[in-house]
Every structure is written in C-alpha cells, then in structure tokens.
Structure 1
Amino acid sequence: MTEHQVINPLSVGVDYEALAGRFRPIFSRIAAGAVAREQSRSLPYEAILWLKEAGFGAVRVPVEYGGGGASLPQLFQLLIELAEADSNVPQALRGHFAFAEDRLNAAPGPARDLWFKRFVEGDIVGCAWTEIGSVAIGDVITQVSPNGDKWRLNGEKFYSTGSIFSDWIDVYARRSDTGGDVIAAVRARQPGIVQNDDWDGFGQRTTGSGTAHFADAEVEAENLIDFATRFKYQTAFYQLVLLATLAGIGRAALRDVAHQVRNRKRIYSHGNAPRVSEDAQVQQVVGEISALVYAAEASAVRAAEPAQQAYLARFAGNDEAERAANVAAEIQSATAQVVVTELIQRATSELFNALGASDIRQGKALDRHWRNARTVSSHNPVIYKARIVGDWAINGSEPPFVWQIGNGPERQ
C-alpha cells in the first residue's frame, strides 16, 4: 500500500456478491410491501429505516472508514436490485448518494472524515435544489445569511426528493453577502424546516418529492460548501441513479409478467396452446421483454464505469486525464439515457400483450411499472441529451456539466 493510499483510501470495489448478500433480504422485505404502498400511497419510511440500519447509505464509503467500499458500477448494480423491489426507494436516496459522492471527492481531512462517520452511523441526506414559480433561469431565490458564527437559511424548494426521510438536506442556495452559490448541508430535524408530501405525479408517487420550506433554518459554518467545488461528474451521477431505477423497473416488470403468464389459467380459443405458459406467441413477448431489460441493465452498469474513472482521476494529479474522464462520464451516461429510456418504456408497455383484460385491474398494479418508468424518464429531457451526444460525436463539443431550469425571458 502506497503512502497516497494510506492517507486517502479510495473505494475501488469489493466482492459484489458478498456486498449484495448483506442487503438482499432487506430488498425482499421491501418488495413484499411495494404494491400495498403503491395502492395506499404510503411513504416507505420503514423501508428507508431498514436500509439505514443495515448501512446501505455507506456502501460507497471506503472500507478503511467502516463503509462498504463499493465502486460506482457496484453501487448502481445495487440500486438496480433495490429498484426491482420498489423503484421509489432508490430515487428517494438519489440525493443522499450524490452528496456522499461529493464528500468522497472532497479533500482528505477532518471535515470529510466526519461525514464518513455520519454515513457509517446511518445518517441519510436528502436534496432540495429546484425552485418553481417566478424564479428566472439561472437565479436562486433561496438564501443563506450570516448570523454570528452560524448561518440562516430561507427559501422554498420543490422536488425535495427523499428529504422527508432524511437526517440532513443538501440545499442549493445563494449567499446574501457575496452572491456566491453554495450547498448548505442543513440538519433536517429543526423548527425552521417544514416538509410537505405534496408530490402529485402519476408515477413514483412515494419518493417523498414534495415542497420544503426553510425559515431561518440554522446551518453550521462548516456545512456551507462552495458550489464551485462540487464534484465534476455530478450530472452524470444523478442520471446514473435514474438509469439504475429504470433498469430495476424493467426487472420488476419482467418478474411480474413471467409470474402472471406462468399462473394464468384462462386461455383464448384462438390461442396456440392449452396453457398460456406454453403459447409460443406469449413466450415470444416475454422473451422480447427479457431482452429489452437485459440491454437496459447492461447499458446502465456500463455507463457507470467512466464515472468511477472520474472519481479515481480526481486524486491522480493529472488535470487533463481528469477532464477527459469527466467528459466520458457525462457523454456515456447521456448515451445510455437515450436508449434505456426507450427500452424500459417499451418493456413496461409490451408486458400487457402477454396478458389479458383481467391483468389491468388495479389490484395487480401492473400499470405502475409504465407510470414509474415514464415519470423517471421525464427528468433531464432525453431530447437534449441526444443532441449533446450528437454534438460531441460530430464536433467534439464538451457537454454541460451543470445546468439549471427556470423561467425564460418574457415575450415582447
């Protein structure tokens, strides 16, 4: 072991089966309640707690600090398995793993060590970045203001995914004194924060993606982080979580359609066999769904490899190699997004071709797979990602590493 590794151990990967084996019993418990949560729109507080207690939030923390030491491809493979159990849960943890990744990319020292300790002890971080309403693109209304040796946070965020389950919230804000953009890591359980479960989308309904209100919420000075230091492959990382979620939705759809076909007793007079499970045309539909899901999962895991290289390059001391790795992470996550989005939306629709009218009943909740896939696919519009990939292929134009959403200029 080199001196560099002793000072700054990295998460380069562990035995995947051993790592996944720790969590698969929990994934099974989560899966057992997924349909009931969907039908009653019950938030997965218990599921998140099981994962916290098992150390799932620390799987990327280096082994030397008590974490799982997983590589990024291994993390996203785990999230695929979790999404197969309940696709809402990995999306609810998206902000946590992004903030943890930022701390993994931070300079070694006591501040980073403290966050690693928190993750290992089970702390979970939510996110609150997006503002809606009258905010103009590029503007940030949420502000942090100095208050003695601490700061006060004021503002409102929507799409606060996972924050309602969390111990901390990763808030994108602007300093009132300098106008600089920052990340405020704020303790979630305090009087100045009110969170609402008011997400009303037709899919991913239990991710805790509601409104967060901040009124003089207290932020410790050491938890105010300059946004310019944010890890460079962050947009790729956020997209990779969604790709893993999509691949997991596909696996769940395949599992459910195979189960329904296997156990279906009613047949059509113009079918091809005395049992649906033996009908060649139905077998073909399920086989095609299996191939779609296989390709989506392979793409999602493959797309995570450049992000791992970008993480390693962060500490390798070669700026040009790090830049190239960050470009590759962004381009390959965007490329995978273009194809995985289409594959899983198709798979979650095609499953009904292998079934009958009775399988669209609400009690089976098979529609949730398409609704969830369509909802996840609506993040980070795929048409723009396809253009970015094309511009790179044709002109070598670097992709944007940070982008925002807000109101455009009014028409004259």
Structure 2
Amino acid sequence: MSTPAVSALYDIRQPDAHIIRDDAEAIAVAHRIAALLREGAAERDRQRRVPADVVDAFSNSGLWGITVPRAYGGAEVSFATLARVIAIVSAADPSLGQIPQNHYCLLEDIRLQGTEEQKRFFFDLVLKGHRFANALSETGGKTVTDIRTRLVEEGEGYRIDGRKGYCTGSLYAHWIGVLALDGQDRAQLAFVERGTPGLVVVDDWDSIGQRTTSSGTVIADGLRVPAFNLFPSYRSYEVPTLAGPFAQLTTAAIDAGIGRAALDDTIAFVREHARPWVDAGVEKAGDDPLTIIQVGALEIRQEAAEALLERAGWVLDAAKPAPDEDNVAAASVAVAKAKVLTTEAAIEATNRLFELGGTRSSLARHNFDRHWRNARVHTLHDPVRWKYHLVGNWALNGIKPARHDWN
C-alpha cells in the first residue's frame, strides 16, 4: 500500500469545552455560535480553509457534547433539539454544521454498544471538547456497503489496514472512528487517537460544495488498536435501534439549514438590491407581485420542511426509551418524509435565489452559488427517490424499512 509519509497538518489544540446543561441552553448557544460562524463563511468557502480558532470556538462551546447521556454528565438533549441545533448552525455555515454530524453518530454508537468503562472514558473526552470524526465509507466499491478495510487480531489488540473516503471532519479531529470488518465479516468500529502510528489523514477533499468539511481520505496502514477502543457496531442493526434514523435526522437537519440560509439571502437581496421586472409597474422588487408569490411559496416549503424535521425528532424521542420493530420503523418513515422536503426545499431555494435576485445576485463577490453547491453536494448522501419508495411502501404495503445507516 502506498501511503503518504505524514498526516495532513492542522493545529489541533488541547480542548477546553463548556458543558451545556439542558435543551434551552443548547438552543441559545447554537444561536450564539451561528452568529460567529456566519461571519466569514463565504470567504472560508472561497479559500477552502477554516482557521483553528473557528473550529475550537465551535467545539469548545459545548455543542459537540449535548448528546452525552445525563448519567455520564451530559445534557442528553432531545433528538428534536439536536436537529434544531444542527439546522441553526448549518444555516450559518453548513460545512461547519456538517463536521460534528458524524461526531454525534459516533457518540450514538458509544451509547448503543459501549461497555460502562468505554462510555465513561469516551464520554468524558467528549465533554472536555475532544472532536471525533469518521472513517466509515470507502470509494470504488459496488455499493456504499462494500467495505474492504480489515480488522485482525494481533497480540493483545488488533491491526487495521484499509483506505477510507468521505471522512468528514478528519482534518480537525482529535479522534477518528475507523470502520473495519473482522474475520467473520462483521462491522467493528475502532476509535483511534489522532497521531497514532499507521493512521494517516489526507486533506484531499475537492468537491464543488461543502468545501471545508475535510471529507477526504483516511488511510490505515498497520494501524494498531487496543481491544478497549473497539465497538461492535454491527449489533446496532441486528436488533431494532435508532442508529439509522438518528444518522438520517442529522443529515436532514443540515439540508434544512442550507435551505434557510439561501432563503434568508434571497429575501435580503430582493429587498436591498434586486430590481422589479419592467411589466410589474412597481418601484421596488419587493413589491413585484410575482416575486412576492415566489418568496411566499419558498417560505411555506421551508417551514414545512422544518416542521417535518422537528416532528421526526419527536418520533425518535418517543421510541428511544424502548425501541422495537414498530417504533423504529415509524422513526425511519418520519425521517424519510423530512429528508424529502429538506432536500427539495434546499435545492429549490438555492436555485430561486438567482431567479428572484436577478443578474446582480450572480456576481462572484456575493458567492451565493455556494448555497446551491452546498445543497447539491450534501443532498447526494442518500437519494430521496428511495425515500419516496420507502414512504410509499410503508403506506401502501405496510413494509418496514430495511435497517441500515441510510434509513
């Protein structure tokens, strides 16, 4: 295996995080952090660079620890609150809104499959401000579930070899969760501290959108992992759990934030800069009746998407105490409905911005195309055409969704 000599450089500092105590505080902090992240978001997109101070301020705010269970010192906010927090932050900068998305999913893996000792150790790290990133997916396989990375017993621990792609947040992470198949082809999740020999982070993410998520490559080359750091993630899908709906909820929340950002910029630009069409017979673009109708339609669709997102969070909250076949399926269906609307509302809003803003809105200095690029790229995570199928099959035939990360 050809491996770069060293990992990509980034100034990863010792964390010092605030601990958020409840849902209300989480929402308040999210709004405060969103105000901070909104400043400079367009320029960070242009440069494909995020200063370490910005990432540190985000994670040290305490927002990255809000799903830690109360029994381990966290706020354990509701799923509905988490979705709202992600949407608020993503409306300010969806790339930065995405980097803790897999962090939250990895914490859910710890909650579902960790031993008491593992939970105490890793949740304590999270509350202190350590950032977790994923090395789950791989490129080049027949489907997204085609995993080639292998885990083998070696000495008192394990060895991992493989190449991962779409490793969101890897450049900024203190720890990386590496997914590998064991000798029985079961998915195991290994938590590996940044800087461990054999773990290489490659800063090669070059997508047109979500440019600063650092969703590039991670290589495991003779990577040694102690048994304590290993989690049997395959068990999360052997029985009904909320692992899949949870992952989808966080993804939909990012799309909701992208749609809201585009709509807010549309409204501001129409008010301040756009010109009315010559046949409208009005002085301001904001008084153009056809523009008013379009903005009204966008606002309705966006609020509908946000409402379905919140409702999906409630369905997950209801299932959390005792997940079973029925309530986990209901959670998957509820999230699928939200995912359809958040996807379609975001893509439409990012497109309509230019139609309603006019030619001036396309000038490079505004960088409004980042909204469309972000929406188009992030909504590729899982195709909504299959969400329509999932919902229809449930409604028409009573077929429960398959249990995996994308349902």
Could you tell me which residue of structure 1 aligns to residue 333 of structure 2?
Answer: 331
1:267–1:275 contact (8 Å) kept in structure 2: yes
User: Structure 1 residues 397, 160: closer, same or farther in 2, change over 3 A?
Assistant: same
2:125 pairs, out of 111, 115, 118, with: 118
Higher alpha-carbon deviation: 191-200 or 115-124: 191-200
User: Structure 1 residues 223, 108: closer, same or farther in 2, change over 3 A?
Assistant: closer
Could you tell me which residue of structure 1 aligns to residue 285 of structure 2?
Answer: 276
Deviations 1:284-333 (Å, cap 9, x if unpaired)? 3222221121111111111122222232215xxxxxxx222211111111
In 2: Cα distance, 1:249 partner to 1:65 partner: 33
Could you tell me which residue of structure 2 aligns to residue 103 of structure 1?
Answer: 110
Structure 1 residue 55: deviation in Å? 1.4
In 2: Cα distance, 1:45 partner to 1:83 partner: 18
Does the alignment pair 1:306 with 2:315? yes
Q: Residues 71-220 of structure 1: matches in 2 within 5 Å?
A: 71-106=78-113, 109-133=116-140, 139-176=146-183, 178-220=184-226
Deviations 1:338-369 (Å, cap 9, x if unpaired)? 23222221122122232120110121111211
Structure 1 residue 35: deviation in Å? 0.4
- 3-state SS of the aligned residue for 2:167? coil
Higher alpha-carbon deviation: 225-234 or 299-308: 225-234
- 3-state SS of the aligned residue for 1:117? helix
Structure 1 residue 138: deviation in Å? 5.3
Deviations 1:52-100 (Å, cap 9, x if unpaired)? 2111111111345332231110001000100001011222212100011
Could you tell me which residue of structure 1 aligns to residue 296 of structure 2?
Answer: 287
User: Structure 1 residues 215, 381: closer, same or farther in 2, change over 3 A?
Assistant: same
Structure 1 residue 32: deviation in Å? 0.4
1:130–1:159 contact (8 Å) kept in structure 2: yes
Does the alignment pair 1:233 with 2:235? no
User: Structure 1 residues 356, 137: closer, same or farther in 2, change over 3 A?
Assistant: closer
1:286–1:351 contact (8 Å) kept in structure 2: no
Letter in 2 for 1:256: D
1:247–1:340 contact (8 Å) kept in structure 2: yes
1:163–1:169 contact (8 Å) kept in structure 2: yes
In 2: Cα distance, 1:252 partner to 1:137 partner: 30
Does the alignment pair 1:377 with 2:384? no
2:109–2:233 contact (8 Å) kept in structure 1: no
In 1: Cα distance, 2:62 partner to 2:109 partner: 18
Aligned residues: 384
Letter in 2 for 1:71: S
1:132–1:158 contact (8 Å) kept in structure 2: yes
Structure 1 residue 46: deviation in Å? 3.5
Structure 1 residue 15: deviation in Å? 5.8
Deviations 1:100-125 (Å, cap 9, x if unpaired)? 12223346622212222111011121
Could you tell me which residue of structure 1 aligns to residue 362 of structure 2?
Answer: 360
User: Structure 1 residues 175, 28: closer, same or farther in 2, change over 3 A?
Assistant: same
Higher alpha-carbon deviation: 57-66 or 123-132: 57-66
Q: Residues 48-67 of structure 1: matches in 2 within 5 Å?
A: 48-67=55-74
- 3-state SS of the aligned residue for 2:152? strand
| TM norm structure 1 | 0.86
Letter in 1 for 2:150: Q
In 1: Cα distance, 2:144 partner to 2:127 partner: 37
Identity, % of aligned positions: 31
User: Structure 1 residues 265, 345: closer, same or farther in 2, change over 3 A?
Assistant: closer
| Structure 2 portions without partners, runs of 5+ | 1-19
| TM norm structure 2 | 0.87
2:230 pairs, out of 224, 231, 236, with: 224
Deviations 1:234-256 (Å, cap 9, x if unpaired)? 22222111211111111111211
Could you tell me which residue of structure 2 aligns to residue 10 of structure 1?
Answer: none
2:340–2:387 contact (8 Å) kept in structure 1: yes
Structure 1 residue 397: deviation in Å? 1.6
User: Structure 1 residues 18, 180: closer, same or farther in 2, change over 3 A?
Assistant: closer
| Structure 1 portions without partners, runs of 5+ | 1-12, 315-321, 405-412
Structure 1 residue 189: deviation in Å? 2.2
